[in-house]
Amino acid sequence: MDNVDLDVTDGRVLGLVGESGSGKSTIARAVLGLAPVHAGTITAGGQEVRRLSARQRARRVQMIFQDPFGSLNPRMNVGGIIREGLEALGELPARERAAEVTRLLELVSLSPDLAERLPRRLSGGQRQRVAIARALAARPGVLIADEITSALDVSVQAQVLNVLRGILAAERFSMLFISHNLAVVRYISDDIAVMRDGVIVETGPVDEVLAAPRHPYTRELLAAIPQLHPVT
C-alpha cells in the first residue's frame, strides 16, 4: 500500500470503502499503532500519532472492532470494560466513573443494569454497542469503526448503525467508517473514499461521488447494490 492520503475532517464522517484485502483495516490499525508504518505520517489533532504516548493517542483516536465476539474481554463485565476506556481520560473519582458508565450505556441504548454482566451473556448487537460505549468513553477526537457491522446479522446491523447515527447527531466527533459495504457507508458518512489495491481511487462528499462516480471501480461498486439505483 502506498500514497494513501486520508483526511478525516472535524466533525464529519469519512466512509472508507473497498474490497477485502484492499488495505482498509491496515490503515485503521496503523493509525492505532497496531500495525507498523514504514513511511508517511499519521496525524491526529495536528500531532504525529506515533510520537504520542499510548494514553495521549487513546484520547485522540479510538477504534471499534469488527468482531464483537473477540473484542470484549470475556473475563471482564460490561462496566469494567467501559471503565477501561474511561481510564484513558485519567483518574476520575469512583462516583463520577459509575455515573459516566451509566451515561455511556444509555447513550448506546443499553440498560445500565447490563454493567454487571459478562460479555458472554450479551447478544452480538449488544456487544457491539458496548464496544462503541468503550471507545466513546475515552472521548476521542476521531473514532475509527472497522467493519463494525459485518459480523452481525442484518436486522442487528441496522440497530447498531442507528445507534451510531444517533450519537453522531448528539455528540461532536469525527469518524473514519470503514466498510466493504457501500450501502452501509453511504448511510452513515458525509464524505467517502474508495480504495482499491492499497490506493485511494476516488474521494469526495458522499452525494457527489455516488451521483457521478468518476472511477470505474466506484461504478462497479455502485452496480453491486442494484436495488438502490432508482434512489440515486
Partner 1 sequence: MTTSTAEVGKRPASAGRPERGAHAARGRKVPGWVPDLAWKLLRLVISIWAVLTLTFLMIQFIPGDPVRLALGPDAPASLVEERRHQLGLDQPLVAQYLDYWGRMLTGDFGDSLLSQQPVSLLVEARIANTATIVALSLLAISVVSILGGLLVGIATHRGRRPLLGTGFTLATGIAAALPDFLVAVGLVFLFAVTFTIFPVAGASSAASFVLPTLAITLGSAATMMRVVRSSTAVVLDQDYMLVARAKRLPSTRVYLRHGLPNLLTAALTLGGLQLGTVVTGTIVVENVFAIPGLGTALVQALTTRDYPVVQTIMVLLASAVLVLNLLIDVALGALDPRSKRQRG
Partner 2 sequence: MRRQLRTVFSTVTGSVAAVLLLLLVLLAIVGPIVWSAKANAIDVAKAWLPPSGEHWFGTDELGRDMFARSLVATRLSLLSAVAASGIAIVVGVPIGLLAALFGPRLTSAFQSVVNVAIAFPALLTAMFVGTVIGIGVPGAVLGVGIALAPMFARLTQTLTASVVSLDYVAAARTMGVPLHKLVGRHILANVAEPLVITATTSVGTSLLGISALSFLGLGARPPQYDWGGLLSTGLKAIYTSPLAAIGPGALIALSGIVFSLLGEVIAGAFGDSQAGRRFGRVARAMARRSSKATLPPSDVLLDVANLRVGFPSEAGSFPPCGVSRCGSPPASGSASWASPAPARA
C-alpha to C-alpha distance for 230 and 232, rounded to whole angstroms: 6
Q: Does 120 bind partner 1 (CB under 8 A)?
A: yes
H/E stretch holding 14: strand 13-18
Stretch that binds partner 1, among 1-9, 115-123, 127-135, 192-200 (CB under 8 A): 115-123
**Closest distance between partner 2 and the C-beta of residue 133, in Å?**
12
Stretch that binds partner 2, among 40-48, 99-107, 151-159, 208-216 (CB under 8 A): 151-159
Of residues 21, 40, 45, 166, which one binds partner 2 by CB under 8 A?
21
Q: Does 73 bind partner 1 (CB under 8 A)?
A: no
Conformation bin of residue 31: beta by default, left when phi > 0, alpha when psi is -120 to 50: alpha
**Closest distance between partner 1 and the C-beta of residue 125, in Å?**
12
Three-class DSSP category at 207: helix
Stretch that binds partner 1, among 120-128, 144-152, 158-166, 196-204 (CB under 8 A): 120-128
Residues 164-223 that bind partner 1 (CB under 8 A): none
**Closest distance between partner 1 and the C-beta of residue 65, in Å?**
17
Of residues 55, 121, 165, 214, which one binds partner 1 by CB under 8 A?
121
Helix ranges, 88-224 (H): 94-107, 124-137, 154-170, 182-188, 206-211, 216-223
Place of cell 455502485: 222
Annotate each residue in 80-99 with x if it binds partner 2 (CB under 8 A) or - if it does not, as one string. Answer: ----xx-xx-----------
C-alpha to C-alpha distance for 187 and 172, rounded to whole angstroms: 18
124, 228, 134: which is closest to 184 by C-alpha? 228
Of residues 9, 73, 123, 162, which one binds partner 1 by CB under 8 A?
123
**Closest distance between partner 1 and the C-beta of residue 124, in Å?**
10
Three-class DSSP category at 141: coil
- Choose the contact partner of 30 out of partner 2, partner 1, none; CB within 5 to 8 A by kind: none
- The contacts found for 187-191 with CB under 8 angstroms, 24 or more apart, are 187/161, 188/13, 188/15, 188/161, 188/164, 189/13, 189/14, 189/15, 190/12, 190/13, 190/14, 191/9, 191/12, 191/13, 191/14, 191/15
Positions that interact with partner 2 (CB under 8 A)? 19-22, 29, 32-34, 53-58, 61-63, 65-67, 69-76, 84-85, 87-88, 120, 123-126, 131, 134, 138, 149-159, 161-162, 180-181, 183-184, 187, 220-221, 223-228
Positions that interact with partner 1 (CB under 8 A)? 120-121, 123
